[in-house]
Amino acid sequence: MQLLLGRMGFAYDECKQKFEYMSVKIKRRMKDMFVQYLPEFGLTDFYYRGFFLLHGCSSKLSAADVVYGVTALLEGSSASRQFGDAYDALSVNNLDKLENGMRKAIRVQRVILI
């Protein structure tokens, strides 16, 4: 990942931040740079079409984020508790549970990439 970000000309420290806190300049360049450099790393079909849920003024969730977050909440050894957590995370009133699931999904993806 560090090599990829370096090839694209992005500072690793800035890319470790949550996307919402990255500089606007990097956000604008990121998609084009990924399209250009990802094939060198054997990564194809990186982007796919999706849709978003806007909640409030600043909260935006993609359908894929919800799928990955809920799936991460379902994985584990206590099926009934995890099903309850995943079910609760689907409510707009429990975005904190969904956010926990998304953080778990991100940790899993990081392990896969490293």
Model-level pTM? Answer: 0.61
The answer to whether residue 46 sits within a structural domain is no
Residue 58 has pLDDT above 70, yes or no: no
Residue in the structure block whose two tokens are 């990802």: 38
Containing structural domain, residue 67: 52-113
Same-domain status, 68 and 103: yes
Question: Is 47 part of any domain?
Answer: no
Indicate whether 80 and 30 sit together in one domain: no
The full DSSP string for 25-41 is HHHHHHHHHHHHHGGGG
Closest CA to 105 of 64, 47, 59, 48: 64
Name the residue type at position 60. Answer: K
> Where do the H-state alpha helices sit in the chain?
2-8, 12-15, 24-37, 63-74, 79-89, 95-113
pLDDT tens for residues 14-55?
A: 888 888 788 888 888 888 888 898 888 888 777 767 777 776
Are residue 57 and residue 34 in the same domain, yes or no?
no
For residues 56 and 108, the model is more confident at 108
Same domain assignment for residues 61 and 99:
yes
Number of domains in the chain: 2
